[in-house]
Structure 1
Amino acid sequence: MESLSMIFSVLVLDANQRSALAVTRSLGRSNYVVTTADSTDRALAGVSRYSSQYIQSPNSETNPADYVNWLIKLQSERKFDLVIPVTEITSQLLLMSHQDLHGVKLPFASYEKVMKLAHKGHLVEAANRLGVPAPQSELYESAPSVDPSIQTYPLVLKPCLSKIYTGTHWIATTVRIASSAEELITILKRDTYLQNTSFMLQEFIPGHGAGVFCLFDKGKPLAFFAHHRVREKPPQGGVSVLSRSVEADPLLKDYATRLLSGVNWHGVAMVEFRVSPEGKAYLMEVNTRFWGSLQLAIDSGVDFPALLAQAELTGQAPTIERYRVGQHLRWFLGDVDSLYLYLKSSHSFKNKLARIIQFLTPRPTKCRHEVNRWDDLAPAQYELSIYLKHLLGR
């Protein structure tokens, strides 16, 4: 991205997230004045050389009212041109409170539009209307309305919201798979939030996950990106610790475009699909915020944070047609944890030895570290210090 002729100030929230570090580095290199904030006394992005100042904030999850009041006061004093949250909780909290956040510019669509995608029941309705395949789903308002004896198993119990705001705090929900009526009954009793919150019982789709990362400007697509998870933590499936950029699947791009253009989407989105063994893709969910492996897209030539900021502040962001395929990104300490968990598992000695060799032989010409960067060493030092404290405290 070219440097801007006018200097803008940006506040990056949730600064302990690796995605916040990627945003901070991206915008700092593009000559934005970046301030970072989180609830701890120091934070991953806060120690970056690209953060001009770090500010400790209240906790948006445990003290939402204090957090909103803190941001209102800060904005009145500093007048940031753009405020970028990177977690679901902070993003939704600020969107819900936007009428009180006078002068705070967020790089999102309206709260109502965001919830059309974040609320999985509304998402399935939109997908059906726009011709995007989704698993067969039945919406329920609460657990007492379910008759487990008439369901087809296995099935997926999917809460409509991954985080539920009660007015004073947040409740984290979990997607469950039930293989029988007995399992479903147990889940409905155990997850007490299901007694008074909406959820779906959804057809189980075997296969593998696939996704496409997008940036839209008022319904117009500006950029797409895709990656393959090479290794994850935990190893059987979870957070990516080694990933590789790949070509975005044309069909998934088409589905994502239908969905996001159909709701006149604005901002970034991660559209996730499940691909069956027969090769059919089904829409699973849409995350309406920056994602964990954001740095891989930036390294591959799709600088989502800079593009988003340019679209918001100048209205002149370019469309990105191509990017580097085969670029790797490694979260080193996450990869260490993944190796440890693999070696503790019941895999054979041969498989464990192969996994050690894979860990020790990265591709130096095609692989970059997510946190460890020679031009910005402080975040890696900070992350290692926190890692060792946790390790020694076990």
Structure 2
Amino acid sequence: MAQGVLILSGYNIRAVVAFCRWATARGVPFHLVARDGSDPIFLTNYAAHVLLTRDSSQLALAHFVHWAALLRAQHGYERLLLLPSTEFLNRFMLAHREELGQAGCVVPLVDQALYCRLSDKHSFGRLCSDAGIAVPGEYDTLPERFPFVAKPRSYAGIGTRQLKPHLVYGPVERERFLRGEDSRDFYYQQYVDGRSLYLLAYVPISGEPVLFSQENLVQQPEGGSVILARADDFHLQADALPYLALLAQVRFHGLIMIEVRRAADGTCYMIEANPRLWGPMQLVVDHPTGIFDAFLADYGFCTAAAAAAAAANSASAAPLPCYYWSGGLRAGPPSYHNFSAAALAAQQAAIAPSDIFHRHDSMPLYRHEQAQP
């Protein structure tokens, strides 16, 4: 069956570029729809894969029908796999799954109810707690003790605006939170300090999950994007088993990242889950994890053998030591987990070669980020 992958670019760009690298090495046909003329994808080699540039940031079903018709006419595809790259896109696709299917598009996600149950922070926390998985303690009312975390109960609040968690370190942040948010949209958890771990997986429709894990060392302020991470063996440890059992119990399949905090006493607390591509996806591309291979295989794609892919893409020939995004440091003083500013400076020579954009296919994007104030 002739088929390709359709990717909406402009958001979660680090994950999009990582997938494009993997797909290029594996010989998987893919096509991009750029967000606008300033989409960072135009500063990479993958600009050659841009089908068209959107003239509006609004998503509409008619757009997907049009894009699919263009690609099917140009390439003879029988169907197009839609890459689940962002939360907003995924929820849009789930709301229009039937119509997208009629247009020849495949939505590689579980049903809408299960997806939201895992992606919404409060419902997944309840699911984990019921399964005996530790979650941070909750406060009944807005806490007076610091620090704490204010988490949205669901993806969209009362005003349908997309919501994000807030790390509240003291009275100043507390007042800022109350001024900027409707407290009815949030619940409050204890802040858990400790090692920051990601359990990374592709759970196939049938068969055993493909697993990997990472430890996050440096992160943008206010719980922002990961800047530095290294491979970890959490997925091989007993602490990972309850999560895998829970995913099997609810019959989940697809890509998923589960964030865990390992406290000083060894307890692992579930922080959140993202059933989609995650920002530091490059780490699973730079290591022979097989996560993307399993994902595409579930939908009938034949990918090149790993050895052939490594020969075609020298960056994949030997795993890089870590995931690093130097451009992320420009967001302000970062947070450190089991790491420090001194360690980042001391290890810079070893870390720098892993920079996600300091590579042959994205040097203009790297220079653009470095030039930002």
Q: Could you state the TM-score of these two structures normalised by the residue count of structure 2? A: 0.78
Shift of 1:299: 0.9
For the 8 Å contact 1:330–1:369, the answer to whether it is kept is: yes
* Native 8 Å contact 2:35 2:53 kept in 1: yes
Q: Are the equivalent residues in 2 in contact too, given 1:34–1:53 (CA < 8 A)?
A: no
Equivalent positions of 1:246-285 (< 5 A) are 246-249=232-235, 250-285=237-272
1:8 counterpart letter in structure 2: Q
Q: Give the structure 1 partner of residue 9 of structure 2.
A: 14
Q: Is the 8 A contact 1:310 1:317 kept in 2?
A: no
Task: Give 1:15 deviation, angstroms.
Answer: 4.4
The structure-2 alpha-carbon separation of the partners of 1:7 and 1:362, relative to structure 1 and needing over 3 Å to count, comes to: farther
Q: Which of these residues, 54, 64, 71, is aligned with residue 71 of structure 1?
A: 64
Instruction: Say if 2:117 is the partner of 1:158.
Output: no
Residues 12 and 177 of structure 1: CA distance in aligned 2, closer, same or farther (over 3 Å): same
Please list every run of at least 4 consecutive aligned residues from structure 1 whose deviation after the TM superposition is greater than 6 angstroms: 315-318, 351-354
* Other-structure match for 1:38: 34
Q: Decide whether aligned partners of structure 1 residues 76 and 126 sit closer, same or farther in structure 2, where only a CA change above 3 A counts.
A: same
Report what 2:355 is aligned to.
Answer: 369
Letter in 2 for 1:95: L
Taking a change above 3 Å as real, the CA distance of residues 355 and 22 of structure 1, as seen in their structure-2 partners, is closer
> For this pair of structures, how many residues does the alignment match?
346
Aligned counterparts of 1:317 and 1:269: Cα–Cα separation in 2 = 24
Would you say 1:380 and 2:363 are equivalent positions?
Answer: yes
Q: 1:190 aligned to 2:185?
A: no
- In structure 1, what is the Cα distance between the partners aligned to 2:157 and 2:206? 27
Q: Where does structure 2 lack aligned partners over 5 or more consecutive residues?
A: 73-78, 306-317
**Is 1:358 paired with 2:347?**
yes
CA shift digits 1:167-226 (9 cap, x unpaired): 7xx43333343768x986x4674244334x3x3233443333222111101375421111
Q: 1:383 Cα deviation (Å)?
A: 4.2
Partner of 1:330: 324
Q: RCO greater where, 1 or 2, for CA within 8 Å and sep 6 or more?
A: 2
Residue segments in structure 1 that go unaligned for 5+ positions in a row: 1-5, 139-145, 319-323, 346-350
Q: Does 1:300 align with 2:287?
A: yes
Alpha carbons of structure 1 residues 303 and 41: separation in structure 2 relative to 1, 3 Å: farther
Pair 194,38 (structure 1): closer, same or farther in 2 beyond 3 Å: farther
AA of the residue aligned to 1:99: E
Offset, 1:233? 3.7
Deviation at 1:160, TM superposition (A): 1.5
1:7-30 C-alpha deviation (Å, 9 max, x unpaired): 531111134511001111211221
Give distance in 2, aligned partners of 1:191 and 1:73.
38
Separation in 2, partners of 1:383, 1:355? 19
CA separation of 1:326 and 1:32: change in aligned 2, threshold 3 A? closer
- 1:171 is paired with a residue whose SS is coil
The structural deviation recorded for 1:312 is 1.9
Q: Which runs of structure 2 are paired with 1:168-317 in the superposition (5 Å)?
A: 170-177=161-168, 186=175, 189-195=178-184, 197=185, 199-218=186-205, 220-234=207-221, 238-249=224-235, 250-313=237-300
Distance 1:237 1:246, change over 3 A: same
Name the aligned partner's letter for residue 328 of structure 1. C
* Contact preservation (8 Å) 2:137, 2:189: yes
Q: CA deviation at 1:314?
A: 5.2
Assess, with a 3 A threshold, how the Cα gap between structure 1 residues 46 and 225 changes in structure 2: closer, same or farther: farther
Shift of 1:231: 3.6
Determine which structure has more spread, i.e. the larger CA radius of gyration.
1
> How far apart, CA to CA, are the structure 1 residues paired with 2:291 and 2:88?
21
Q: Is the 8 A contact 1:311 1:317 kept in 2?
A: no
Cross-structure match for 1:111: 112
Give the letter for the 1:333 counterpart. G
- How far did 1:156 drift? 3.2
How much does 1:237 deviate?
Answer: 6.4
CA contact under 8 A between 1:271 and 1:285: conserved in structure 2?
yes
Structure 1 length-normalised TM: 0.74
- Aligned residue in 1 for 2:308: none
Amino acid at match of 2:67: L
